[in-house]
Amino acid sequence: MTSVKLTCTSCGQINRVAGERLEQRPKCGICGEPLDDGKVRELDAKSHDKAIRSDDLPLLVDYWAPWCGPCRMMAPEFAKAAQALAPDVRCVKLNTQDHPDVASRAKIMGIPALVLYDRGREVARLAGARPAAQIADFVRQNLAGRM
């Protein structure tokens, strides 16, 4: 595999990582935070847009809000799915209460909402709280041949 670009969810730096190193849990060259360790990371508006636009790995975004019961119930399942999908897919979250402009641009009509992006374009969406297995299956089905 060739190198891949990954946006650091902490500092926003775009990092180039050798594909074979993804299994070794690479860290950002600027801030040292993990780039793809199978843990769900919270995005702000800037890192959301940059990662969608720039990353070479597929990105699964959970659009959620802290007041949403189903969102909170799904959070541990989303974390399990992130572990199962790493290092081939990065799973991240965006708080729609804190970033309503991003949710509006992403055409989020209800939460929780999962949107799968690959190389700058939306591939698929899934509405409602789901168990980890369904989340992982949704990603694998929509990235068939890529994973």
Catalytic machinery residues? 68, 71
Distances (CA, A) of 9 to 67, 121, 134: 23, 19, 25
Which residue shows structure tokens 């007041």? 67
